[in-house]
Structure 1
Amino acid sequence: MTKYLKHPKLLSFLQHLMAAFIAFTYFYVFAGSSIIISGVRGDYSYNLYESDRTKGYEESYLFNNILGNNISDVLKLVAERSQLETSGEYDGKKKIDVTAYVNRGTTLPGDYITATYYLSDLLKWGQSGFEYETRDFTGEESAKFLSKSTTYTHLKNNIVSGGMNSYLSSQLEDNSMTFTITSSTQPEGGKHNILVSRYETVDGKNVEDLVSNWEEYNLLCSYVEEAALTLTNNFEDYGKLISYYSYQNSNVRYFISRTINGKTETYTNVEELSKETTGIDIKSMFEGYGKYIYYCPYELQYETNTLIKESVVRSLVKSYKFAFPDQIKVYIAVDTNDYPCIDGFTQGKISFSKYMPYRTQLYILSFVAAVVYLFILVIRLKASNNGADEERKKTIYTGAIIGIGLGIILIPFAAFVITSLIMDISYGKLLQIAHFPVYAAMGAFVFDIGLLYLVYGLFKKYKEKTLWKDSFTRQVIIKAKKLILSTTDNANVIIRTWIPYVGFVVLNTLLFNIGLAGIVLAVIFDVLVGVYLYRQNLDRDKIIHVIENIQNGDVKAKVKIDNLHADNISLAEAVNTIGEGIDRAVDTSMKDEKLKADLITNVSHDIKTPLTSIINYVDLIKREDIDNARVKEYVAVLEAKSQKLKQLTEDLVEASKISSGNISIQLDKIDFVELVNQTIGEFFEKLEASKLTPVFKAEKPSIIIMADARHLWRVVENLINNVCKYALPGTRVYMDMRIKEENNKKYVVFTIKNISANELNVDEGELTERFIRGDESRTTEGSGLGLSIAKNLTISQGGKFDIKLDGDLFKAMLTFEVIE
């Protein structure tokens, strides 16, 4: 063993050299196995198959895979040419039926709504972008903006047989006619998005001139936008493809003809075939190029000397069926006679010739280099293990196996990464560099120096029993423990949140980059963090549960501080303090409310006694024979004001009782419809005096609810009385009763609507507050308590009371559950 260690530096250099050679052979083979070829849409990756080793380039899977991608691109190019060209030239004046174009993959009905634009207008519109304006329309404005009739397009020949679809049918000359149908309904008003029309149709119209309702308008706008954007994208792709597959730039030759309604159109990059082809044997010409494909579905013919199957070509043609009817002929060939152009086929040929013959030899040399590398590693570890006990020898040998695995697995990939960083090139581009395996070997040489220095250093520390004591890992764990402890107390929010998060992300990233061992450590670390977060959230759940109880009225609920952790203890103490504060506040509020209610009741009772005397004496004065007209007028005013004061006192007492819950509610089955009819009958004279016409409609003749008849009558009476006071004379008062379903339950909604005589300058929510009146000048009678009493009485009976204001329209709604 010692004879090998006389020159340790030479052994180290040889070991690093073997690592570099392993990386070189690995990436030489890898770069050859995965060839990157530049295409029209960027770089394509192709694999070299072992079975191609005994084949020529044109018979290989590589060649045929490149050909398959080129066939797909050529068919796409022809499909785009059919949309953008006329007689082989770009035609900006080509007419595009947007509905047929957007639905080119399907069959449209014989009559449909569409707009026809010039191709150049759609392309310019798509490039500049589409703009919409949001406008608010009335019904009349909608009818004025939209057309009174809808324009339909009818395809005379819309037959799908022979591969013809609606899009192809729409492209035929004199195959379409238009007619209009007048709309029988007026379009609805509301907010609508209006397309800013940059360009007009072929007939000089906009979308709104072709449709009579908003649904048709929105649909047609979407078709115009989708057609313009799709054509714009196709136009950009067309520019790239037409140049890439020109006769001068590509070894691909194509000639595709299609026959539509007896008219044949051709698309080719061979100049002598772009005009008259009579007398030219096209098939023989394409066979002469080398590798060719001929496909004619309507004659059931498919011929090729490539590995491309008919099903593949058929599938590719079918993906562009909107451009290719059944009557087509497809000729595609690759000029393999010296490959006159530099393209993907020539790149593939160079790569194929460079890598395929030497793959087996490289595998053997790589294996030999790995054996030499391992041999040097073993003898150096044995030399450093002299004098150690058997147990430590086993440990060191285990470490040797780990080192071997690191050396063989990580060195090539490390070289790949180092080379990419040094040269500042992406991985995909790196593989295309001819000398990349050399650069990878240099990177592996440098990386192996650092790796073996680390491995031998760790073994030395382990032998001296200082591996854990002096380890960086131990220092990191100690610092991490301190950091975790400091972030779980009441420190700054940023420190408690972002430092742990950033540390978690960084540590996970580092561990995952190490490999399998790092992934295992990351999983263990994540589990520990998960347990910690679970405990924290468990504490928070306890606190949230108590907060919900306090929210629901249990202000005496407390959080048990035992078994809580970190700053959750402080949070729990704060919640307990808040609960105690709310409890005291609620007690104080209840006392104040009771005192207020008692004060109102007592004062009202004290007022009622002298008020009763005033009313009685006024009545006695009225019975006296008084000749003075002015005195009679004074008595009348005194009587009216005393009655108003009496009503205000009674309303005040009732409002106080309702708000304090000091009323008796006796729920029973009541016919809501009958109760409203009776109330309307009682108020008929008063409504007639106010020049109001009641209109009541019920969905059913009888609707049963659970309510207190006396209190419900008071609610309806308050609403109708409110109408008599504040509604505009000479108008109708609409009342309706409808049933709605919600959450598998039926509810009846009674609605009363009227036009206010005075302008309503208050918020609808304020009208149900005490002493709030819609008549701010207070020239009408009323205390401002009616709606407040009505709302509280409705809620006390389990109903719902709502008010809506729309300008001068006042609408009150009562909702109760229906009893079957």
Structure 2
Amino acid sequence: MRLNIRLKKILRISQHLFAGFIAFVLAYSVSSSSIVITGADGDYSYNLYKSDRSRTYEESLLFNNILGNNASNVLRLVAERSQFENGGTYDGNKKIDVTAYINRAFMLPGDYITAVYYISDILKWGQSGISVETRNFTEEESAAFLSQSTTYTHLKNNNVSGGVNSFLNSQIDDNTLTFTVAGNGNYEAGSHNILISRYQTVDGKNIEDIVSSWDEYILLCTYIQETIGDISNNYKEYGSLLNYYTFQNSNIRYYVSRTINGKSEIYTNVNDLVKDTVGVDIGSVFKEYGSYIYYCPYELKYETNTKIKESVFKSLIGPYGYAFPDQTKIYIAVDTANYPCSDDFTSGKSSFTKYMPYRTQLYILGVIAALAYLIIFMLLFRDARQDKEKVSDEDVIAMQTDSGNKINTESVFILGALIIVFPVAALIIASYIKGTTLMKMTQLQAFPYILGVSAIIADVGLMYIVYEFTRRITGKSLWKNSFTRKISFGARNLIINATDNGSVFIRTWIPYVIFVVINLLLFKIGIAGIIIAAFMDFLIGIFLYRQNTDRDKIIHVIENIKNGDVKAKVDVRELHADNILLADAVNSIGEGIEKAVDTSMKDEKLKADLITNVSHDIKTPLTSIINYIGLIKRENIDNEKVKEYVEVLDVKSAKLKQLIEDLLDASKISSGNISIQMSKINFVEMVNQNIGEFYEKFENANLQPIFRCSQPSIQIMADPRHLWRVIENLFSNACKYALKGTRVYMDLKLIEEEDGGKKAVFSIKNISDKELDMDGDDLSERFIRGDESRTTEGSGLGLSIAKNLTVAQNGDFKIRLDGDLFKVILTFDAVE
């Protein structure tokens, strides 16, 4: 049964009034059970407790909570005064040991690295800003920048007796001495962050003059930056707290006496107690003020007439314990006899009687109002919804053609949202005009009534959205009657038409210009336009996502083709728009590359066969030539010229034979036409055997081989014959091209990897006799020699054969050049 129009109006008005009353109850409860007081740290909310109604203000929990916050502030102020003051006044020449300061909660070792600055320099440094720049250093530049020795600071007296920690010990006059220790000479090259030293230490040093390593430099810079930040923040608090807790501005009275190394320091805001207090009973003075606290750790004494327990007071000291040794006396009191100053204590006293007298009764009425609100909401929601089974087709058509539906869906939401936001905006504007905060606004006597009226207005907007949206969903007109639907369908058609046909210019710039213009126009409309633009941008995002998804599929296939899978194809059936043409082109490229690869492989095979056949054809007559030269050498030849010619023929023919054999080996290895028989080999033993075989050659070349290996046995899987050939080629290369009179270093070591596996790494390095003006990878190519003039006896195939044989045995072959230093690194998987 549907409600008549008059009854619905009455119910809606009642619902809004109930919403206002519920808000009134909540606001009255909050504003009368808590107060906001401005203290040293700004506004702070305090609860009003029912149990305080039978107590005086000074006995109440409210008073003790205010006192606890003020006691914490006073302890923080005293800790900050101990940093900045000397004899009760600010002293810019006080010294700060940055390491001791940052580690003030801990005990430092007897000897440590630090920098000591004047407090004024630290504050000026913080005002001008910390500057850090990145520089690249060579080892020589690092050595020149850093000191050759590290300066250590030693605290003569660094014990914890009497609660005097390292920070307090560092502030005792003549309690430190410094000494230097020579650095280890390890100056790393690389990129380092340099702290610009705007100010120097008290003894005129920069940071880099104190340390001799980058680790020490970085740690000290970190301490300095943290100290600058902490001291700068503390100085700001110090100024505001010192002004807040003066004798004339606050009802708080405090007196703190601490003794360090026989020297006493006094911090107080009572002028009569600043100077000579001989014969003055400080405890009696503070008791006369009214509410007081006395704490002395070394006497194990805690006295108070407040509700603040000793454990609570110790927890307040905790964060600032570094400033309070055991020989400390702390007196804190509130002048409750007169309350001469206007502060948070007087504000709390004036609000103390504000506790709501009829709280329970008002809560009961609030619950009744909430139940009535819920019942009315259910009735009106049911009337607006109307189950589809009970709505005829004529009713649906009537709903869709209703005058209320002439307003598009977005406008309904925007209108309702504006009504909801209006009271909130009004409260914010009112607080701004009055120059206060929303928290302070809750303390106004009229605040519950203001919030009640605001809730009525907000409920009007909220229920308008809820009921109107429910009615449109039932009438199937929520989406059909939305402006977003019109925009989205138009944008979809525009995108489809723009991407299916046309030139690049038409497909790119015209849609882009239209898109930008529409966004700019919609932004000028306001919130509604921004929402529509966001939805339109969302549709564009979907289109771009589809396009990029298609491109990812194409790129994936291109990556496969690049990695050697030339048969990879793009499935064009899943693509859209011009991505189909791009996919067809990629598929055609893959087919073309496949044909080219096949042709290249055939050509490579023909080249290998040609080299093999020609080498065999040359080798046969060459063998005859070598044999006949041998026969000639056996004859008794008297002519010295002829003997010389025969020797030349013998040497050159032998060199030609070796070249042809190397060429055949290189051709077989590169074409994979070799037999690999892997077995377990002791790499260390094989290297030693090769060194023994080449020892005479090393001596003849005036070279000294040095082999270093930390283990007697390192096992690898390799072909012994081919591995021997690899090492032989490397040793032969060293004999031919190493600088005479130098050493050839060979290192073999076992390296553990992150995955738990082990690698056997063999390296050989020597100084080249000739200048090496090329990349290391070029030297491993066939017919490439470090001797570009080709005056030495090498063929240029030795390193190429060694590399290909290493790779064929599942090893890794790398060449590193550093000036004239030539280094080859072989890596194999080690086995147990």
Distance in 2 of aligned mates of 1:78 and 1:712:
77
Q: How does 1:595-606 map to 2 (within 5 A)?
A: 595-606=606-617
Distance in 2 of aligned mates of 1:59 and 1:81:
31
Q: How does 1:52-201 map to 2 (within 5 A)?
A: 52-53=52-53, 55-128=55-128, 129=130, 131=132, 134=135, 136=137, 138=139, 142=143, 145-148=146-149, 150-156=151-157, 158-180=158-180, 182-183=181-182, 185-191=184-190, 195-201=195-201
Distance in 2 of aligned mates of 1:602 and 1:389:
91
Displacement after TM superposition at 1:622 (Å): 6.1
Deviations 1:548-582 (A, max 9, x none): 988887766779999x7989997999998777666
Displacement after TM superposition at 1:168 (Å): 1.9
Cα distance change, pair 690–473 in 1 and its aligned pair in 2 (3 A): farther
Distance in 1 of aligned mates of 2:806 and 2:632:
41
Note if 1:305 corresponds to 2:317: no
Distance in 2 of aligned mates of 1:184 and 1:339:
64
Cα distance change, pair 237–626 in 1 and its aligned pair in 2 (3 A): farther
Q: How does 1:208-247 map to 2 (within 5 A)?
A: 208-211=208-211, 213-247=213-247
Aligned length: 767
Deviations 1:495-528 (A, max 9, x none): 99xx9xx9xxxxxxx9xxxxxxxxxxxxxxxxxx
Code of the aligned partner of 1:782: G
Code of the aligned partner of 1:691: N
Note if 1:431 corresponds to 2:439: yes
Displacement after TM superposition at 1:66 (Å): 2.6
2:810 match: 798
Query: Scaled by the length of structure 1, what TM-score is found?
Result: 0.78
1:659 match: 670
Note if 1:732 corresponds to 2:743: yes
Q: Which of 469-478 and 14-23 deviates more?
A: 469-478
Cα distance change, pair 351–808 in 1 and its aligned pair in 2 (3 A): farther
Q: Is the CA contact 2:266–2:274 (under 8 Å) kept in the aligned structure 1? A: yes
Q: Is the CA contact 2:297–2:328 (under 8 Å) kept in the aligned structure 1? A: yes
Tell me the SS of whatever aligns to 2:253: strand
Cα distance change, pair 625–455 in 1 and its aligned pair in 2 (3 A): closer
Tell me the SS of whatever aligns to 1:468: coil
Deviations 1:658-716 (A, max 9, x none): 11110112233444334333333333333333222222233344544333232222211
Tell me the SS of whatever aligns to 2:137: strand
Displacement after TM superposition at 1:634 (Å): 6.0
Deviations 1:311-348 (A, max 9, x none): 11011112221111122222222334564434333444
Deviations 1:263-315 (A, max 9, x none): 32111122222222234343333334343222223333323333322111011
Tell me the SS of whatever aligns to 1:676: helix
Q: Is the CA contact 2:423–2:457 (under 8 Å) kept in the aligned structure 1? A: no
Sequence identity (%): 58
Q: Is the CA contact 1:419–1:439 (under 8 Å) kept in the aligned structure 2? A: no
Query: Scaled by the length of structure 2, what TM-score is found?
Result: 0.77
1:808 match: 820
Displacement after TM superposition at 1:36 (Å): 3.6
Q: How does 1:89-488 map to 2 (within 5 A)?
A: 89-128=89-128, 129=130, 131=132, 134=135, 136=137, 138=139, 142=143, 145-148=146-149, 150-156=151-157, 158-180=158-180, 182-183=181-182, 185-191=184-190, 195-211=195-211, 213-337=213-337, 339-354=339-354, 356-357=356-357, 359=359, 363=363, 417-420=424-427, 429-433=437-441, 434=444, 436-437=447-448, 439-454=450-465, 467-469=475-477
Distance in 2 of aligned mates of 1:696 and 1:457:
90
Displacement after TM superposition at 1:538 (Å): 13
Q: Which of 781-790 and 420-429 deviates more?
A: 420-429
Q: Is the CA contact 1:539–1:568 (under 8 Å) kept in the aligned structure 2? A: no
Deviations 1:66-114 (A, max 9, x none): 3222211111111111121111111111222333222211122333343
Displacement after TM superposition at 1:442 (Å): 4.4
Code of the aligned partner of 1:162: G
Q: Is the CA contact 2:36–2:45 (under 8 Å) kept in the aligned structure 1? A: yes
Tell me the SS of whatever aligns to 1:432: helix
Distance in 2 of aligned mates of 1:47 and 1:581:
82
Tell me the SS of whatever aligns to 1:326: coil
1:751 match: 763
Displacement after TM superposition at 1:719 (Å): 0.8
Q: Is the CA contact 1:706–1:817 (under 8 Å) kept in the aligned structure 2? A: yes
Cα distance change, pair 536–84 in 1 and its aligned pair in 2 (3 A): same
* Structure 1: runs of 5 or more not aligned: 393-409, 503-509, 511-534
Displacement after TM superposition at 1:789 (Å): 0.7
Note if 1:721 corresponds to 2:728: no
Code of the aligned partner of 2:137: D
Q: How does 1:525-544 map to 2 (within 5 A)?
A: none
Displacement after TM superposition at 1:450 (Å): 3.5
2:800 match: 788
2:618 match: 607
Q: Is the CA contact 1:414–1:443 (under 8 Å) kept in the aligned structure 2? A: no
1:505 match: none
Distance in 2 of aligned mates of 1:412 and 1:805:
77
Tell me the SS of whatever aligns to 1:765: helix
Tell me the SS of whatever aligns to 1:299: coil
Code of the aligned partner of 1:235: Y
Tell me the SS of whatever aligns to 1:686: helix
Q: Which of 780-789 and 614-623 deviates more?
A: 614-623
Pick the aligned partner of 1:690 from 673, 678, 701: 701
Q: Is the CA contact 2:132–2:193 (under 8 Å) kept in the aligned structure 1? A: no
Q: Is the CA contact 2:469–2:478 (under 8 Å) kept in the aligned structure 1? A: no
Tell me the SS of whatever aligns to 1:319: helix
* Structure 2: runs of 5 or more not aligned: 392-416, 501-506, 520-526, 528-545
2:789 match: 777
Displacement after TM superposition at 1:782 (Å): 2.1
Q: Is the CA contact 1:747–1:817 (under 8 Å) kept in the aligned structure 2? A: yes
Code of the aligned partner of 1:654: D
